[in-house]
Structure 1
Amino acid sequence: MDNLTIANIALDIFCLVLCLIPIVYLVNDRRYQLKLNRFFMGISISNAFMIIGDLADWCIKDVSEPTMALALSLLSLLFYISSAFVLYFFARYMDEYLKLSGRVRTIFLAVITALCAVHIFFAAISPFTGAIYYVSASGYQRGPLFMISQMVPLLCYLSFTFLVIWCRKKLTRREVIFFLLYIFIPLGGGAAQMFCRGIAVVNVGVTLALLFIFVNIQSERDLLVKQQEKELAESRIDIMLSQIQPHFLYNALTTIRQLCDVDPKQAKEAVRDFSLFLRGNMDSLKSKAPIPFEQELSHVENYLSLERQRFQGRLQIVYDITARDFSLPPLTLQPIVENAVRHGALSREEGGTVTVHTGETDTAYVITVQDDGLGIRATLEDGRSHVGIENVRGRLSALCGGTLTLDSVAGVGTTAVITIPKEEMP
C-alpha cells in the first residue's frame, strides 16, 4: 500500500469522524424532531455512508477472491447511491430553510428528484452492466457512462446556485456566502478528482462544506428556534391571561350565584363548565405542540356554555363540524370564538348567532367562525386586539404553518378562517 493510498484512507477516516459531529448533536436532546434538522441529519448520514463506500476503493486492492470483488462492488454502489441522497437531502434542506412555495418549489424539487433518480438508476445497474463503474482484476474501474455520475451532481449544484441567487433577498449576506461555499467547494473537489484520479478530495470538500453550514447556519438557526419557543411560551401566557380577565370571572361567578337561587341543577352545570374552562386555559401552558382538535373544541364548548347561560336567548350557537381528525395549537379557536361572541353576536341589542364550521380540502383543514354582528370596525374602535389575534396568527404560522384571515363587513358580521396545511402537520 503506497503513501498516497494511506493518505487517502486517513483523509476518509478523518472526514467520517467530522461528519459524525452534527449527527451526534442532532440526536442529543432529540433535535432531529424539527423538520429542518431531519433533512440536515439526512445529509450527514448520507455523507457518512458515502465516505464508507469510498473507503472500499482505497482499502480493497486484491480482488482475486470473488468475495472481495463482490464487497468492492457493493461498497462502490453504496458510495454512488449515498452521494445521490446527499444531494436530495440538501435540496430538501434548502426547500425547508427558504420556505419555498408555488411553482419554484415544485420545479426545483422535481428537477432534483429526477436527477437523483437517474443517478441511483445507473448506479444500481452498474454491478451488472458496468455502466458507471465495474470491478476488474485491477480493482475498481470507471465505466463508459461514468460522466453521468459527474454531470448529475454538477446539474444539482447549478440548481442550488440558481435557487440561492433567486432567493437571496430571504437570506443574509452571511447565509448566501456559506450556502455558495457548500456548493462550490464540492464542485471544485469533484473537478479535481475527475481529472486526477487517485486524490480523495470530494469527500473532504463535501464534509468541510457541511461543517461550514453546520457551524455558521444550522447552529445559529437552532438558537433562533429556541428563542422563538421562548416567545411562543410567553405568547401562551399572554393569551391565557387575556382570556381569564377579571370582568369575565366576575360575570361568570355572578351568573352562577344567581342560578343557585333559581335553578340549582343548572348552577352545578355552570360550575362544571367554569372549572373545565379554567382547566383548559391552564393546560394550554403545558403544551408546546399542537393538540387534537377535539380537545380545543371541548374547551370552546365549555366557554360557550357559560356565555349562553349568562345571555340566554341573546346568544345562539351553531356547530357544523365535518372534520375532526387534525391538530392545531392550543388556545387557537377559543380566542377567535370569544371575539365572535363579544364583538360580533352581542354587538347587537337583540343578540346574534355564532357559527363554528370545520371542513377539509385536498391540502388543508379549514375552520370557519362566523357571526352576524356589526363587524369588527364598528366594535373595536379603541384599536386594541382584545383576544390576541396577532398571537394566534403567529402561533399558527410557527407551530403548523397555518394562517388566520379575517373578513368583516359593517352591519353584516365577521368571518374568521383558520387554515392548517396537511403537509405541515406533525
Structure 2
Amino acid sequence: MEKSSRLRRLWGKYKWIIPASFIASLVFSLTAIALCRVRGFDGMESYAVFNIGADIVSLCICTVLLYSLAQDKDGFSAYTVTFAMLIFFTAALLFSDAAWWVVEGISGLRLWNLLINVFRFIVTTMLIFYFWRYVVTALRLDGAYRRIADIIMNILLVPAVLACFANLFVPLYFSISDDGVYFREPLFLWSQLYFGIGLVIATIGFFVSEVPVKDRLITASFVLIPVFNQIITLYSFELSTEYCAMLISIVLVFGVLVTKREKEHIAMEKELYEARVNVMVSQIQPHFMYNALTSIAMMCRIDPDTAQEATVTFAKYLRGNMDSLRQSSPVAFEQELEHLKKYLYIEKLRFGDMLNIEYDITATDFRLPLLSIQPLVENAVKHGVGMAEDGGTVKISTRETETAFEVIISDDGLGFDVSAPIKDDGRTHVGMDNTKRRIKEMCGGEIKIESAVGKGTTATVILPKEGQNFEDTVS
C-alpha cells in the first residue's frame, strides 16, 4: 500500500527519534538515582522521600516503554512517534520533579532549584503540546477545525515557552527564596493558560472526531486523569499525585497501542495470506494447466524423454506454487528465478520457436516476494509475444543501482497504450494487482510499466535496499 511505503520512508528519515528518547529517559533515570545517592535522605520529610521514590519508579517504567517502542521498528507510525514523545516529556517532567525534591530547601543549591523549576515549566508546556498532537493522531482529526487548532497551539507554544524561560530573570510564575525554598507567585495561574487552552481544544476534538465512540472514550480517559491531578495538586506542596497520574495515563495508552498493533498485525497477516492464495491460484488457472498437460501429452508420442522431463518440471512448478502459501517473507532472487525458469520451460513447450527467452542477470544478492516476477513474465508471454503473428522475445534482466535492486521484464510484442483504461476481464489482473500490493507491503518497492503500441512492453520491479533486511519465515 502507498501508506505502508510512505511510513517506511518516514521511519528511515526519523528512525532516531524513538531510540534517542529511550536513551534520554535512561539518562534521566540514572541521574535521578545518582542525585539521591549524593544528597541522601537525611533531614528530608517522609512525603518528599515517597515522592522521589515514586518519580524514579515511574521514570524506569517510561524508560522500559520507550525501549519497547524502539525495538518494534515494524510498528512505526505517526501515532507511535507522537506517543514516544509524550512518554519522553513525561519522563523529563518526572525527572525534574524528583530533582526538585532533592534540592528543595537547600540554600546552597538555590540556583539549581531555579534551573530545575524553569526546566520543569518548559517541559510541562511541551508535554501539553505533544498531548494535543496525540489527540490529533488518536482521534484522526482533520479539516478546518484541526487547521485552526494547530495554528492556535503552534503560535501560543512559543510565548508559553519564552515566559517559562523568563523566570530565570524575573519571578513571573515562581520564586526561590534565599534559603532555597520554592514559592508560587501571583502570576502562577497564567502558567496554566496554555494547558487550559489545550484542554478546551482537545475537548472539542472529542466531539468533532468521527472515530468510534470507544476510541474517543479511551482518549478522553487519558485527558481526565491529568486534569484531576492538576486540580488536586494546584495548591498542594506535599504528597504529589503527578507521578501516578502520568504513570496511569501512559500505561493506559500503551495498553491501547499494543492491542491496536496486535489487531493490525493479525489483519495484515490475513491480508498477506489471502494475497498469497490469490497469486498462487492465479498462476494455476485452468487454461494454463490444460495447455501444459496438452503439450506434455503431445510430447509423449513424438519425444517421450522430453515428455518425462516436462512432467517432472511441471510437478516441481506446482509444488513451488503450493509452497508459496507457507512463505510469509521475501525469498532469495535465485529461488524465484528457478521457479520462473520452470514456468518458462512449460510455456516454451507450447509456443516452440515463436517464444525466445533471454537472461541478463547481473545482480542476484537481493530478496523479493515469492511469485512476484511470474505475473509480469506471464503478461509478457501471453499479451506480448503470444499475440504477435511471428512471436517474439522475452528478456529478464537484473541490475543494482546505488539505492535499489531492479528486475526488468521486457518483450518486443504488441505493446499497449498505458493511458488507456484497463479492461475488466475477470481474473486477468488479479495476479498483477496482488503482486504490486505484496511488493509494496513486504519490501517497500514498486512496479513501473512502460509500453508502446507495436514496440513492446517493459516492466521494472524496483526493490529499495533499505527493505532488504529480511529473514526467511515459513508459517
Structure 1 residue 89, shift from structure 2 partner: 7.2
In the other structure, the counterpart of 2:313 is: 273
- Distance in 2 between residues matched to 1:42 and 1:283, nearest whole Å: 41
Letter in 1 for 2:141: R
- Distance in 1 between residues matched to 2:231 and 2:63, nearest whole Å: 17
- Distance in 1 between residues matched to 2:400 and 2:128, nearest whole Å: 38
- Cα pair 2:33 2:56 within 8 Å, conserved: no
1:109-149 CA deviation, whole Å, 9 max, x = no partner?
Answer: 9x97xx99xx7xxx9xx9xxxxx67967999x865542446
Which stretch shows the higher mean deviation, 275-284 or 45-54?
Answer: 45-54
In the other structure, the counterpart of 1:415 is: 458
Structure 2 residue corresponding to 1:390, chosen from 406, 430, 433: 433
1:192-241 CA deviation, whole Å, 9 max, x = no partner?
Answer: 87996654544433433334434545424422432332233233222212
- Distance in 2 between residues matched to 1:160 and 1:320, nearest whole Å: 55
Letter in 1 for 2:291: N
- Distance in 2 between residues matched to 1:79 and 1:302, nearest whole Å: 60
In the other structure, the counterpart of 2:442 is: 399
Structure 1 residue 249, shift from structure 2 partner: 1.6
**Unaligned residue ranges in structure 2 (runs of 5+):** 1-16, 43-51, 144-208, 471-475
Structure 1 residue 177, shift from structure 2 partner: 7.5
Structure 1 residue corresponding to 2:132, chosen from 153, 161, 175: 161
1:357-400 CA deviation, whole Å, 9 max, x = no partner?
Answer: 33344444333322222235699755334152222222233333
Which stretch shows the higher mean deviation, 294-303 or 383-392?
Answer: 383-392
1:151 maps to 2:122: yes
Normalization by structure 1: what TM-score? Answer: 0.63
Give 3-state SS (helix, strand or coil) of 2:360's partner: strand
**Unaligned residue ranges in structure 1 (runs of 5+):** 1-38, 65-72, 127-131
In the other structure, the counterpart of 1:235 is: 275
- Distance in 1 between residues matched to 2:426 and 2:463, nearest whole Å: 26
Distance 1:80-1:206 versus aligned 2 partners, 3 A rule: closer
- Cα pair 1:53 1:75 within 8 Å, conserved: no
In the other structure, the counterpart of 2:295 is: 255
Give 3-state SS (helix, strand or coil) of 1:370's partner: strand
1:11-42 CA deviation, whole Å, 9 max, x = no partner?
Answer: xxxxxxxxxxxxxxxxxxxxxxxxxxxx9999
In the other structure, the counterpart of 2:362 is: 322
- Distance in 2 between residues matched to 1:51 and 1:300, nearest whole Å: 56
In the other structure, the counterpart of 2:77 is: 97
- Distance in 2 between residues matched to 1:157 and 1:97, nearest whole Å: 20
- Distance in 1 between residues matched to 2:464 and 2:73, nearest whole Å: 19
- Distance in 2 between residues matched to 1:94 and 1:229, nearest whole Å: 13
- Distance in 2 between residues matched to 1:199 and 1:74, nearest whole Å: 12
Which stretch shows the higher mean deviation, 178-187 or 257-266?
Answer: 178-187
1:173 maps to 2:211: yes
Structure 1 residue 306, shift from structure 2 partner: 1.6
Distance 1:51-1:62 versus aligned 2 partners, 3 A rule: closer
- Cα pair 1:352 1:373 within 8 Å, conserved: yes
1:325-365 CA deviation, whole Å, 9 max, x = no partner?
Answer: 33222221112221221112222111122222333444443
In the other structure, the counterpart of 2:399 is: 359
Which stretch shows the higher mean deviation, 288-297 or 362-371?
Answer: 362-371
Letter in 1 for 2:444: G
Distance 1:59-1:402 versus aligned 2 partners, 3 A rule: same
- Distance in 1 between residues matched to 2:127 and 2:75, nearest whole Å: 14
Which stretch shows the higher mean deviation, 163-172 or 301-310?
Answer: 163-172
Structure 1 residue 284, shift from structure 2 partner: 0.3
1:331 maps to 2:342: no
- Distance in 1 between residues matched to 2:360 and 2:305, nearest whole Å: 28
In the other structure, the counterpart of 1:225 is: 265
Give 3-state SS (helix, strand or coil) of 1:227's partner: helix
- Distance in 2 between residues matched to 1:134 and 1:357, nearest whole Å: 68
Distance 1:164-1:181 versus aligned 2 partners, 3 A rule: same
- Distance in 2 between residues matched to 1:94 and 1:302, nearest whole Å: 34
In the other structure, the counterpart of 1:313 is: 353
- Higher radius of gyration, 1 or 2: 2
Structure 1 residues 128-143: aligned runs within 5 Å: none
Letter in 1 for 2:433: E
Structure 1 residue corresponding to 2:414, chosen from 365, 374, 393: 374
Distance 1:351-1:360 versus aligned 2 partners, 3 A rule: same
